[in-house]
Amino acid sequence: MSSSREGAGGADGSADGPKSRGLRIFSHFGLPKTPGHQIKGDIHPAIIKLGLQFSEFKICGANARCIATLTAFKTVIQDYVTPPHNTLSRHLMTHLSPQITHLVNARPMSVTMGNAIRQLKLEISDSDIDLPEQDAKDELCQKIDNYIRDRIIIADEVIEDLAVKKIKEGDVVLTYARSSLVEKILLRAHSQNKHFSVIVIDSRPLLEGKTLLHSLTSTIPPIPCTYALLPALPSLITDADVVLLGAHSLHANGSVYSRAGTAMVAMLAKEHSVPVMLCCETYKFSETVMLDGFGKNELAPVKFSPGAPKSNSNLEVLNPLYDSTPASCITAVVTEVGLIPPTSISSIPLALGRTTL
Amino acid sequence: MASDPQSAANQRIVEDLVSRLRRRQVVGSRATALETLLVLRQVISKARFSNIDQLTDVIRSVGRRLVEAQPKEHSVGNTVRKVLHHIREEYHTASGPPAVESSFSIAKFVLQGQPRRQTVIPKSEARVPLKENDPDDPDSFARVLKPVLMEAIQDVFDELETVYDNIAKNAKDHIHSDEIILTLGMSKTVQSFLKSAAHYRNYTVIVAETAPSFGGREMAKSLSSAGISTFLVPDSSIYALMSRVNKVILGAHAILANGGMFATSGSLLAATAARSYSTPVVVCAGQFKLTPLWNLYHEYGALDFGDPSAVLGFEEGDLVDKVDVVNPYYDYVRPELLDVFITNYGDHPPSSIYRLLKETYDDEDNEL
A326 CB neighbours in chain B (<8 A) are: 276
Are A229 and B276 in contact (CB < 8 Å)? no
Are A323 and B237 in contact (CB < 8 Å)? yes
Point out the residue among A234, A309, A320 whose CB comes nearest to the CB of B301.
Answer: A234
Note the pLDDT of residue A191. 93
Question: Residues B220-254: pLDDT tens digits?
Answer: 999 999 989 899 999 999 999 998 899 999 999 88
Note the pLDDT of residue A8. 39
CATH 3.40.50.10470 maps onto chain A at 167-356
A267 CB neighbours in chain B (<8 A) are: 239, 272-273, 276
Are A264 and B273 in contact (CB < 8 Å)? yes
Peptide bond between residue A221 and the one before it cis (omega within 30 degrees of 0): yes
Are A314 and B230 in contact (CB < 8 Å)? yes
Point out the residue among B231, B235, B301 whose CB comes nearest to the CB of A230.
Answer: B235
Share of chain B above pLDDT 90, in %: 25
Q: Is A179 a residue whose pLDDT tops 50?
A: yes
The more confidently predicted of residues A191 and B90 is: A191
CATH 1.20.120 maps onto chain A at 32-154
Backbone angles phi, psi at B153, to 5 degrees: -65, -35
Phi-psi region of B190 (alpha: psi -120 to 50; beta: other; left: phi over 0): alpha
Query: Which of B68-71's residues contact partners 24+ apart within 8 Å by CB, and which partners?
Result: B69/B17, B69/B18, B69/B19, B69/B21, B69/B22, B70/B21, B70/B22, B70/B24, B70/B32
Distances (CA, A) of B122 to A94, B127, B142, B343: 91, 12, 21, 25
Distance from CA of B335 to the nearest CA of A (A): 15
Point out the residue among A224, A229, A320 whose CB comes nearest to the CB of B240.
Answer: A320
B222 CB neighbours in chain A (<8 A) are: none
Distances (CA, A) of A68 to A74, A342, B69: 10, 28, 58
A228 CB neighbours in chain B (<8 A) are: 311, 325-327
CATH 3.40.50.10470 maps onto chain B at 165-365
Q: Name the least confident of A172-181, A243-252, B22-31, B106-115.
A: B106-115
Are A323 and B240 in contact (CB < 8 Å)? yes
Question: Residues A261-287: pLDDT tens digits?
Answer: 999 999 999 999 999 999 999 889 888
B323 CB neighbours in chain A (<8 A) are: 213, 217, 225-227
SS in 3 state form for chain B? CCCCHHHHHHHHHHHHHHHHHHCCCCCCHHHHHHHHHHHHHHHHHHCCCCCHHHHHHHHHHHHHHHHHHCCCCHHHHHHHHHHHHHHHHHHHHHHCCCCCCCCCCHHHHHHCCCCCCCCCCCCCCCCCCCCCCCCCCCCHHHHHHHHHHHHHHHHHHHHHHCHHHHHHCCHHHHCCCCCEEEEECCCHHHHHHHHHHHCCCCCEEEEECCCCCCHHHHHHHHHHHCCCEEEEECHHHHHHHHCCCCEEEEECCEECCCCCEEEECCHHHHHHHHHHCCCCEEEECCHHHECCCCCCCCCCCCCCECCHHHCCCHHHHHHHCCEEEECECEEEECHHHCCEEEECCEEECHHHHHHHHHHHCCHHHCCC
B348: burial class by Cβ within 10 Å (0-12, 13-18, 19+)? buried
Distance from CA of B47 to the nearest CA of A (A): 44
What is the count of residue pairs from A and B with beta carbons less than 8 Å apart?
187
Are A264 and B238 in contact (CB < 8 Å)? yes
Share of chain A above pLDDT 70, in %: 87
Point out the residue among A234, A294, A308 whose CB comes nearest to the CB of B331.
Answer: A234
Nearest Cα residue in chain B from A235? B300
The domain defined by A32-154 carries CATH number 2.60.120: no
Q: Is B117 a residue whose pLDDT tops 60?
A: no
Are B273 and A210 in contact (CB < 8 Å)? no
Instruction: Please give the CATH superfamily to which domain A167-356 belongs.
Output: Translation initiation factor eif-2b; domain 2 (3.40.50.10470)
B316 CB neighbours in chain A (<8 A) are: 210
Point out the residue among B223, B241, B319 whose CB comes nearest to the CB of A213.
Answer: B319
Distance from CA of A280 to the nearest CA of B (A): 21
Residues A288, A252: contact at Cβ < 8 Å? yes
Are A308 and B240 in contact (CB < 8 Å)? no
Note the pLDDT of residue B246. 93
Distance CA B349, CA A351 (A): 52
Distance from CA of A201 to the nearest CA of B (A): 10
A324 CB neighbours in chain B (<8 A) are: 240
B232 CB neighbours in chain A (<8 A) are: 308-309, 315-318
Contacts of B286 (CB under 8 A, 6+ apart): B29, B30, B160, B163, B164, B167, B189, B343, B344
Q: Is B118 a residue whose pLDDT tops 50?
A: no
Identity of the highest mean pLDDT range in A17-26, A101-110, A237-246: A237-246
Q: Name the least confident of A75-89, B85-99, B244-258, B307-321.
A: B85-99
Note the pLDDT of residue A333. 93
Are A235 and B300 in contact (CB < 8 Å)? yes
Question: Residues B150-167: pLDDT tens digits?
Answer: 888 888 888 888 889 888
Are B265 and A318 in contact (CB < 8 Å)? no
Are B272 and A320 in contact (CB < 8 Å)? no
**Alpha-helical regions (H) of chain A:** 2-8, 45-55, 62-78, 88-106, 111-126, 133-147, 155-165, 180-191, 209-217, 233-236, 262-271, 348-352
CATH 1.20.120.420 maps onto chain B at 5-161
Q: Is B193 a residue whose pLDDT tops 70?
A: yes
Are B217 and A260 in contact (CB < 8 Å)? no
Identity of the highest mean pLDDT range in A129-133, A174-178, B300-304: A174-178
User: What is the fold, at CATH topology level, of the domain defined by B5-161?
Assistant: Four Helix Bundle (Hemerythrin (Met), subunit A) (1.20.120)
Note the pLDDT of residue A32. 57
A312 CB neighbours in chain B (<8 A) are: 224
Bridge partners of residue A227, in order along the sequence: A200, B325
Question: Residues B272-329: pLDDT tens digits?
Answer: 999 999 999 999 999 889 988 876 556 554 467 888 888 887 777 777 788 888 888 8
Q: Which helix (DSSP H) or strand (DSSP E) does residue A130 occupy?
A: none
Instruction: Read off the pLDDT band of A357 (50, 70, 90).
Output: very low
Instruction: Read off the pLDDT band of A1 (50, 70, 90).
Output: very low
Nearest Cα residue in chain B from A205? B234
Q: Is A70 a residue whose pLDDT tops 90?
A: yes
Distance CA B131, CA A40 (A): 96
DSSP labels for A174-205?
EEES--HHHHHHHHHHHHTT---EEEEEE-TT
Rounded to 10°, the helix A88-106/A133-147 angle is 40
Distance from CA of B262 to the nearest CA of A (A): 13
Note the pLDDT of residue B25. 85
Nearest Cα residue in chain B from A215? B319
Are B244 and A267 in contact (CB < 8 Å)? no
Instruction: Read off the pLDDT band of A19 (50, 70, 90).
Output: very low
The more confidently predicted of residues A296 and A31 is: A296
Are B311 and A228 in contact (CB < 8 Å)? yes
Averaged pLDDT of chain B? 83
Distance from CA of A97 to the nearest CA of B (A): 32
Are A235 and B322 in contact (CB < 8 Å)? no
Are B236 and A260 in contact (CB < 8 Å)? yes
Are B211 and A316 in contact (CB < 8 Å)? no
Are A227 and B326 in contact (CB < 8 Å)? yes
Backbone angles phi, psi at B343, to 5 degrees: -115, 175
B324 CB neighbours in chain A (<8 A) are: 224-227
Note the pLDDT of residue A258. 93
The more confidently predicted of residues B101 and B291 is: B291
Question: Residues A189-202: pLDDT tens digits?
Answer: 999 999 999 999 99
Report the pLDDT averaged over residues A59-82. 91
B237 CB neighbours in chain A (<8 A) are: 260-261, 293, 318-320, 323
Q: Is B270 a residue whose pLDDT tops 90?
A: yes
Note the pLDDT of residue A20. 42
CATH number for region B165-365: 3.40.50.10470
Strands A332-335 and A276-279: parallel
Distance CA B209, CA B283 (A): 18
Point out the residue among A230, A305, A320 whose CB comes nearest to the CB of B269.
Answer: A230
Question: Residues A221-264: pLDDT tens digits?
Answer: 889 999 999 999 988 998 999 999 999 999 888 899 999 999 99
Are A264 and B228 in contact (CB < 8 Å)? no
Peptide bond between residue B212 and the one before it cis (omega within 30 degrees of 0): yes
B312 CB neighbours in chain A (<8 A) are: 210, 227
